């Protein structure tokens, strides 16, 4: 069984169709990377999976359940945003614990999950700081920590590293690769960075104008791009 199934998924804004019948079967534990030009629908697709955008047509299944009508809180999915979306008035610890508190988890379970995630992401030194007192890289770690503590069925990332400088981007990319190796969680990751796509992905989905141009393992796309468009995105000179 796939972890996440997209079947003829469509999205329209008024009369504008931005996602045209997308089909993807995302395997459990797979790291799937979405690439494509600005405006091709990557964020929209991710937000539909998260439940942040209504689905206009087709079927979305998560862990064997059709979730089209379920709100984000009932989808067991965690999304990490580019702008981190941390609560400015809460400490790092409180930011990480907030979702679990809302769900009514008990305090000791929350504490141990927060401690565990803090250890994995090396954020113990600043658990009591506010987001404003953190660097961009540290905020990114907290955003990831907040996702991890929920132990979701899948992680969704929308260009999580694009606000970081080049050196930090490399460091965080390696961190995300390590994290995935350790947790083996199903992940859908949007990026426009070719190196991120090639190094992180089990499979890459190349999107263009709301449709999928090609899906495949990074090296398959690199060596056998289905179109010039894919070749341009994946960087093969053919």
Q: Which residues bind ligand ADP (CB under 6 A)?
A: 13, 18, 36, 38-44
- Closest to 9 (Cα-Cα) out of 26, 30, 33: 26
Burial bucket for residue 31 (CB in 10 Å: 0-12, 13-18, 19+)? buried
Binding residues with Mg ion: total (CB under 5 A): 1
Nearer residue to ligand ADP within complex by CB, 13 or 87: 13
Hey, what are 186's tokens? Answer: 């199903």
Nearer residue to Mg ion within complex by CB, 43 or 187: 43
Hey, what are 121's tokens? Answer: 């992401």
- For residue 201, the minimal CB distance to ligand ADP (Å) is 17
Binding segment (CB under 5 A) for Mg ion, from list 18-26, 36-44, 48-56, 135-143: 36-44
Q: If binding is defined by CB under 5 A, does position 214 make contact with Mg ion?
A: no
One of 5, 43, 140, 191 touching Mg ion (CB under 5 A): 43
Q: If binding is defined by CB under 5 A, does position 44 make contact with Mg ion?
A: no
- For residue 65, the minimal CB distance to Mg ion (Å) is 27
- What's the 3-state SS for 49-114? HHCCCCCCEEEEEECCEECCCCCHHHCCEEEECCCCCCCCCCCHHHHHHHHHHHCCCCHHHHHHHH
Chain contacts with Mg ion (rule: CB under 5 A): 43
């Amino acid at each position: 069984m796939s972890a996440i199934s997209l079947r003829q998924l469509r999205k329209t804004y008024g009369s504008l169709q931005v996602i045209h019948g997308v089909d993807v079967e995302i395997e459990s534990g797979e790291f799937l990377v979405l690439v494509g030009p600005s405006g091709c629908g990557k964020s929209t697709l991710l937000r539909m999976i998260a439940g942040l955008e209504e689905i206009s047509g087709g079927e979305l299944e998560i862990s064997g359940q059709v979730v089209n009508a379920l709100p984000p809180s009932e989808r067991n999915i965690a999304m990490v945003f580019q702008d981190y979306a941390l609560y400015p008035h809460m400490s790092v610890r409180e930011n990480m614990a907030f979702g679990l508190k809302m769900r009514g988890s008990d305090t000791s379970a929350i504490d141990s999950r927060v401690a565990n995630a803090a250890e994995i992401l090396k954020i113990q030194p600043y658990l009591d700081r506010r987001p404003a007192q953190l660097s961009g890289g540290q905020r990114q770690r907290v955003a990831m920590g907040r996702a991890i503590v929920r132990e979701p069925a899948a992680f969704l990332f929308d260009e999580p590293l694009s606000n970081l400088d080049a050196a930090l981007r490399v460091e965080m990319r390696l961190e995300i690769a390590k994290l995935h190796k350790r947790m083996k969680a199903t992940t859908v990751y949007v990026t426009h960075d070719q190196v991120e796509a090639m190094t992180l992905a089990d499979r890459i989905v190349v999107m263009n104008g709301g449709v999928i141009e090609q899906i495949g393992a990074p090296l398959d796309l690199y060596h056998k791009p289905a179109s010039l468009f894919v070749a341009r995105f994946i960087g093969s000179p053919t």
